[in-house]
Amino acid sequence: MVRSDKRKVRSRFWVATTHVLTAGFAMPLVIGFVGTILVAMVLPPSPETFLLSAIMQQCFIATGWIAGTYYSLSYIRKTCIMSNPSSYIAPCIIAGVVMLALSFLLSSAAYVLADWPEALIVTVVSHCIAYLSYATITRNAFKQMRPDRYA
């Protein structure tokens, strides 16, 4: 159990940015990087394995979003005092849309330049799954949090 003196009252902006940077940037980046290395070790780069490689990489990125969401929510529960947790849902969802757009643009740029429409479709599907998971988990978690009284 975390001592209450380590928890602080945090603004919606702080919670939203912390949540989206952890769930939508840090964890997908780390897990995607590790996944890319694993994919490169298993599948040598070639035109025949490109689509399978893209699918695997996008699965790692989506897994990063989901794992990051759970990790971020755990951190927020331990460090933040929130008098109305439900009011944090909208800022987190909006910040998630912005991060998703950036993630999608970065992920799909190489596929567009390489003229691989199949990989672009994989990117769209994986980002939709990642964001819907992020939004659902975030919404449900904040709705289930109990309001705190200020210390």
- What pLDDT, in 10s, does the model give residues 88-120? 999 999 999 999 999 999 888 877 887 788 888
φ and ψ of 36, to 5 deg: -65, -40
DSSP state of 92: H
126 neighbors 54 (Cβ within 8 angstroms): no
Cα–Cα distance list, 71 to 7, 52, 75, 115, 125 (Å):
17, 28, 6, 36, 23
Q: What is the pLDDT of residue 148?
A: 80
Output the DSSP codes for 39-85.
HHHHS-S-TTTHHHHHHHHHHHHHHHHHHHHHHHHHHHHHHEE-S-G
Token pair in block for residue 15? 């919670």
pLDDT category at 15 given cuts 50, 70, 90 is very high
What token pair was written down for 100? Answer: 């998703």
Q: Residues 125-150: what's their mean pLDDT? A: 92
C-alpha span between 39 and 46 (Å, rounded): 12
Encode pLDDT of 55-68 as tens digits.
998 999 999 999 99
Collapsing DSSP states into helix, strand and coil, what is residue 145? coil
